[in-house]
């Protein structure tokens, strides 16, 4: 079964990559979803989470 937090993290990063303007609260929520997803993540999912974290950091640096 897919980790709910994993899906929330994916959705949040997808909104960033689609050019949606995100508030600081949205960014914080995305970060928390990523961190929460680690608790139940498989090794493969952990790699994806690391990529999502990097995308979030990259997006924040661009603004």
* Whole-Å CA distances, 24 to 44, 59, 60: 28, 12, 10
Alpha carbon distance 57, 1 (integer Å): 28
Q: What is the pLDDT of residue 2?
A: 54
- pTM listed for this prediction: 0.81
pLDDT reported for residue 8: 86
Tens digit of pLDDT per residue, the chain (63 long)? 357 888 888 988 888 778 777 788 888 888 898 999 998 899 999 999 999 999 888 877 766
26: buried, middle or exposed (CB in 10 Å: 19+, 13-18, 0-12)? middle
């Amino acid at each position: 079964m897919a980790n709910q937090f994993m899906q929330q993290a994916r959705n949040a990063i997808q909104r960033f990559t689609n050019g949606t303007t995100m508030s600081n609260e949205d960014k914080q929520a995305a970060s928390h979803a990523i961190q929460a997803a680690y608790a139940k993540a498989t090794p493969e999912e952990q790699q994806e989470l690391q990529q999502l974290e990097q995308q979030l950091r990259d997006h924040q640096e661009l603004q």
